[in-house]
């Protein structure tokens, strides 16, 4: 943007080196947010930059006035003074995020505003929320981004109504017309409140079982893959004085290792998919990279595994902060302009943070600090920790995901919201086309309109091809496709209002879409079951051409497609068996006892083929579809849904040792009698449990491949353990190590750590 803004941020960053913002009153905090907005607007209006500096000045005055309070928030033991929810205890401008790999056309440095604030936490007493908002978002007057740096928790939690009332008061008129953002604050406040309640229930139950064990999820870098971002961060800081040649060598080694593994994975991925999918994959990767750099990063540090600070200067003020999640993902924040030492003090003060010593560190050198997060109890894995943080995506929250050009601001965040909360039926028709890759997330509203017109013409051309077949072609088409389509469309979803009644024109539209699809993709043609998949799309999207292209996207991008090939289904079943082996060993043993027939998992073929459409009423089944299409943390969420059904409804099978056919009967009798919401929740918690596993069998390596790292710098890549079946190659293509140990059971997350210790290359010297 403009130089004046940069100057302003620069100014702020200079001052903020010393500033630790503490706001006791929400008005102040709000005032601050508004100030920034005003100042930016003033600047856009062409007013002097004076206003900018003034507003930042006000902000800084407030910040420094309370700096002395900083050290008291822990005060040795909990409760010396009540925690002020929402207090900002650290903030710093121009903290950078760097791309993990250079992205063409993107700069290396992505500066942003970092802020740490306190929030009440049921188990920890208080927790720290760290938020990084890219400057680009602040510059764009992205109100949502600004809201992130204004903690809203405490007053909202205590009194949501008051907040709503206050927000309704007049505010400076926005420069652009913004979506009805007023609703956001009270809404999220309520959600947090709900979540808090939920959390407390869960955890108290958990406490009983774990009793007094201090569940420090102490940090082990168990996988060579996990090292790469950190070692990169290290290698990058070439000016660092602390890296001796030996450890640097080791870093390099680990980097090459991870790089080569990564490239072999990529080539594997490419060889597996068709050319067009390969292209899509690359595009997607770029989008994901941009996302990771330009998206808001926000985590509850109380849920992290470890925090590490690597100093790059003698004074130990600049360097990198590396945040590691319990799911072994990493984020690296670069402090080029000091401030890291102050953050270290904050961590030292926080009672949940325990500084851990590395054995080989020499006492007189301070180069790295490591904190692990200790919790009185580990959070329960029975419920995904982010469960109930999200509400159903409705019109107003959907609009908030779009900027004024109609582009989706943060794809990852949108997908996550959909994964947890689903989409309100009234806007499914609008949002599904994004999930189904008909619209790209960064397209503007105008581009989408143009795209629709273009695709409509294309659709008409396909239809024309069908209608102008030669008699021979047509008779073959009739035999292979049309006959079956004609049979099926009249018996698909006829109880749905949209298709009800004789001579319903929508049935004819569905028929045309399916016929045209078979022309468009003759290799696939028509498979029974496609009508079940297209019917809900048409019901929600309504437009014929749009539905067609969404259906194309559905068939290309989702993995539960009605593929006509044995091997696709076989692969799904293989993954499912492996998941069961890992997560429900008792059931897997039962299958093993039944032998090959049992392992065929006949009872879930239809689950996979139609993505549960026949197992649950539409309202619930479509929620499952959306959750699968969101590709959140896995590309195979439908398999987690399968496991969830078996976990919840499969006890009889193992208890009564049901035979293969009885098992089929058992589950087919359950269709339309299961609780879809419960299954969804269970599946999300299973995914969470899966992601906590420090090691997974190499057979499940691809389960989290396409979904991207989200806001993290590292993909999710746990240690891979070779399960030893690679007929085509000598060694495990995933670099898995053969180990005699049984795979860790998810119910004992700590168990898996045994023996997974690898040589720790972070043998840095450390301060005394």
Partner 1 sequence: MAGGSVSECKEYLFKVLVIGELGVGKTSIIKRYVHQLFSQHYRATIGVDFALKVLNWDSKTLVRLQLWDIAGQERFGNMTRVYYKEAVGAFVVFDVTRSSTFEAVSKWKHDLDSKVKLANGNPIPSVLLANKCDQKKDGSNNASIMDNFCKEAGFLGWFETSAKDDINVDEAARFLVEHILLNDKGVPYEESNGDRIKLHQEAMPAESKSGCC
Contacts with 212 (C-beta within 8 Å, 6 or more apart), sequence order = none
3-class secondary-structure state, position 385: coil
Q: Which is nearer to partner 1, 1 or 664 (CB)?
A: 664
610: contact with partner 1 by CB under 8 A:
yes
3-class secondary-structure state, position 110: strand
Count of residues of this chain found to bind partner 1 when the rule CB under 8 A is applied: 31
Name the minimum Å distance from CB 534 to partner 1. Answer: 13
Residue 118 near residue 84, CB atoms below 8 Å: yes
396: contact with partner 1 by CB under 8 A:
no
Judged by CB under 8 A, the residue of 41, 448, 614, 753 near partner 1 is 614
**CA–CA gap between residue 510 and residue 499 (Å, rounded):** 9
Q: Which is nearer to partner 1, 570 or 655 (CB)?
A: 570
Judged by CB under 8 A, the residue of 119, 488, 578, 626 near partner 1 is 488
Cα→Cα distances 149→95, 134, 291, 700, Å: 14, 11, 19, 38
Q: Residue 701: phi, psi to the nearest 5?
A: -55, -40
Strands (E), 617-747: 695-697, 719-721
Site string for partner 1, 529-548 (x = CB under 8 A): x-xx----------------
571: contact with partner 1 by CB under 8 A:
no
- Greatest alpha-carbon pair distance for the chain in Å reads 88
Q: Which is nearer to partner 1, 528 or 619 (CB)?
A: 528
Q: Candidates 91-99, 312-320, 326-334, 489-497: pick the segment binding partner 1 (CB under 8 A).
A: 489-497
3-class secondary-structure state, position 142: coil
Contacts with 717 (C-beta within 8 Å, 6 or more apart), sequence order = 223, 225, 226, 328
Judged by CB under 8 A, the residue of 3, 82, 364, 491 near partner 1 is 491
Name the minimum Å distance from CB 563 to partner 1. Answer: 8
Task: State the distance between the two ends of the chain, measured CA to CA, in whole angstroms.
Answer: 45
Q: Which is nearer to partner 1, 281 or 478 (CB)?
A: 478
Q: Which is nearer to partner 1, 404 or 614 (CB)?
A: 614
89: contact with partner 1 by CB under 8 A:
no
Name the minimum Å distance from CB 495 to partner 1. Answer: 9
Strands (E), 285-408: 297-300, 304-311, 319-325, 330-335, 353-355, 368-373
Q: Which is nearer to partner 1, 171 or 480 (CB)?
A: 480
Q: Return the closest-CA partner of residue 308 out of 233, 368, 248, 264.
A: 368
661: contact with partner 1 by CB under 8 A:
yes
492: contact with partner 1 by CB under 8 A:
yes
Q: Which is nearer to partner 1, 56 or 499 (CB)?
A: 499
Give me the count of residues in the chain: 768
Compute CA 742 distance to the chain's CA centroid, rounded to the nearest angstrom: 29
Site string for partner 1, 512-531 (x = CB under 8 A): ---------------xxx-x
Q: Candidates 20-28, 391-399, 420-428, 603-611: pick the segment binding partner 1 (CB under 8 A).
A: 603-611
Q: Return the closest-CA partner of residue 632 out of 593, 690, 577, 575.
A: 690
**CA–CA gap between residue 542 and residue 523 (Å, rounded):** 26
- Which secondary-structure segment (H or E) carries 92? strand 88-97
Q: Candidates 262-270, 365-373, 601-609, 616-624: pick the segment binding partner 1 (CB under 8 A).
A: 601-609
**Joined tokens for residue 158:** 């205590």
Q: Which is nearer to partner 1, 377 or 484 (CB)?
A: 484
Name the minimum Å distance from CB 582 to partner 1. Answer: 24
670: contact with partner 1 by CB under 8 A:
no
564: contact with partner 1 by CB under 8 A:
yes
Cα→Cα distances 563→15, 107, 559, 570, 655, Å: 60, 42, 9, 11, 34
3-class secondary-structure state, position 657: coil
**CA–CA gap between residue 762 and residue 221 (Å, rounded):** 10
Name the minimum Å distance from CB 576 to partner 1. Answer: 15
605: contact with partner 1 by CB under 8 A:
yes
5: contact with partner 1 by CB under 8 A:
no
484: contact with partner 1 by CB under 8 A:
yes
**Residues near partner 1 (CB under 8 A):** 479, 484, 487-488, 490-492, 494, 527-529, 531-532, 562-564, 566, 569-570, 597, 600, 602, 605-606, 609-610, 614, 661, 664-665, 668
């Amino acid at each position: 943007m403009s130089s004046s803004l940069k100057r302003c941020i620069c100014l702020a960053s200079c001052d903020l080196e010393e500033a630790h913002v503490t706001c006791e009153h929400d008005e102040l905090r709000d005032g601050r947010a508004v100030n920034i907005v005003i100042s930016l607007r003033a600047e856009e209006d062409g007013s002097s930059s004076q206003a900018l500096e003034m507003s930042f000045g006000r902000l800084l005055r407030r910040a420094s006035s309370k700096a002395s309070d900083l050290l008291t928030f822990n005060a040795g033991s909990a409760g010396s003074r009540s925690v002020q929810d929402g207090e900002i205890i650290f903030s710093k401008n121009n903290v950078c995020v760097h791309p993990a790999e250079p992205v063409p056309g993107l700069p290396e440095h992505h500066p942003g505003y970092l802020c740490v604030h306190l929030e009440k936490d049921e188990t920890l007493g208080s927790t720290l929320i760290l938020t990084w908002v890219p400057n680009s978002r602040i510059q764009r007057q992205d109100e949502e981004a600004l809201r992130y740096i204004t903690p809203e928790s405490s007053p909202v939690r205590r009194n949501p109504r008051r907040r709503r009332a206050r927000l309704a008061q007049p505010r400076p008129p926005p420069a652009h017309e913004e979506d009805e953002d007023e609703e956001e604050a009270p809404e999220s406040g309520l959600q947090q409140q709900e979540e808090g309640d939920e959390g407390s229930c869960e955890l108290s139950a958990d406490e009983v079982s774990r009793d007094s064990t201090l569940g420090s999820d102490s940090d082990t870098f168990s996988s060579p893959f996990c090292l790469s971002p950190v070692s990169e961060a290290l290698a990058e800081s070439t000016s660092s004085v602390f890296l001796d040649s030996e450890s640097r060598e080791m870093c390099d080694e680990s980097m090459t290792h991870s790089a080569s593994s990564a490239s072999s994975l990529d080539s594997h991925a490419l060889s597996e998919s068709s050319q067009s999918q390969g292209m899509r994959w690359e595009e997607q990767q770029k989008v994901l990279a941009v996302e990771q750099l330009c998206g808001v990063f926000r985590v509850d540090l109380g849920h992290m595994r470890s925090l590490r600070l690597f100093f790059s200067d003698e004074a130990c003020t600049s360097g990198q902060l590396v945040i590691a999640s319990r799911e072994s993902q990493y984020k690296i924040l670069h402090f080029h302009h000091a401030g890291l030492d102050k953050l270290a003090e904050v961590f030292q003060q926080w009672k949940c943070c325990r500084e851990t010593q590395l054995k080989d560190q020499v006492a007189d050198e301070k180069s790295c600090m490591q904190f692990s997060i200790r919790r009185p109890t580990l959070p329960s894995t029975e419920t995904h920790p982010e469960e109930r943080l999200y509400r159903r995506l409705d019109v107003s929250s959907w609009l908030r995901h779009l900027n004024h050009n109609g582009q989706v601001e943060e794809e990852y965040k949108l997908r996550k919201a959909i994964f947890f909360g689903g989409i309100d039926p009234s806007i499914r028709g609008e949002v599904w086309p994004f999930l189904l890759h008909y619209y790209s997330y960064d397209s503007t509203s105008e581009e989408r309109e143009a795209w629709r017109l273009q695709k409509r013409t294309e659709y008409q051309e396909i239809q024309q091809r069908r209608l102008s077949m030669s008699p021979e072609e047509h008779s073959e088409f009739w035999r292979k496709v049309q006959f079956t389509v004609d049979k099926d469309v009249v018996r698909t979803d006829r109880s749905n209002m949209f298709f009800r009644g004789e001579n319903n024109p929508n049935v004819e539209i569905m028929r045309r879409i399916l016929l045209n699809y078979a022309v468009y993709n003759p290799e696939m043609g028509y498979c029974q079951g496609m009508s079940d998949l297209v019917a809900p799309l048409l019901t929600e999207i309504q437009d014929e051409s749009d539905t067609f292209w969404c259906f194309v996207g559905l068939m290309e991008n989702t993995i539960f497609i009605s593929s006509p090939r044995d091997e696709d289904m076989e692969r799904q079943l293989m993954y499912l068996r492996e998941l069961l082996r890992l997560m429900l060993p008792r059931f897997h043993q039962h299958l093993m006892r039944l032998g090959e027939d049992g392992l065929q998992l006949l009872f879930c073929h239809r689950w996979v083929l139609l993505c549960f459409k026949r197992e649950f009423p539409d309202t619930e089944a479509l929620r499952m579809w959306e959750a699968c299409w969101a590709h959140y943390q896995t590309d195979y969420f439908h398999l987690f849904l399968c496991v969830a059904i078996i976990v919840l409804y499969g006890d009889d099978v193992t208890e009564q040792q049901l035979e293969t056919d009885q098992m089929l009967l058992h589950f087919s009798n359950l269709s339309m009698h299961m609780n879809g919401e419960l299954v969804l929740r269970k599946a999300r918690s299973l995914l969470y449990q899966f992601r906590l596993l420090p090691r997974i069998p190499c057979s499940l390596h691809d389960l989290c491949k396409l979904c991207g790292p989200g806001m993290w710098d590292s993909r999710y890549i746990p240690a891979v353990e070779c399960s030893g079946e690679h007929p085509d190659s000598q060694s495990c293509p995933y670099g898995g190590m053969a180990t005699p140990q049984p795979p860790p059971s998810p119910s004992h997350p700590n168990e898996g750590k045994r023996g997974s210790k690898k040589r720790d290359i972070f043998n840095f010297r450390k301060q005394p």
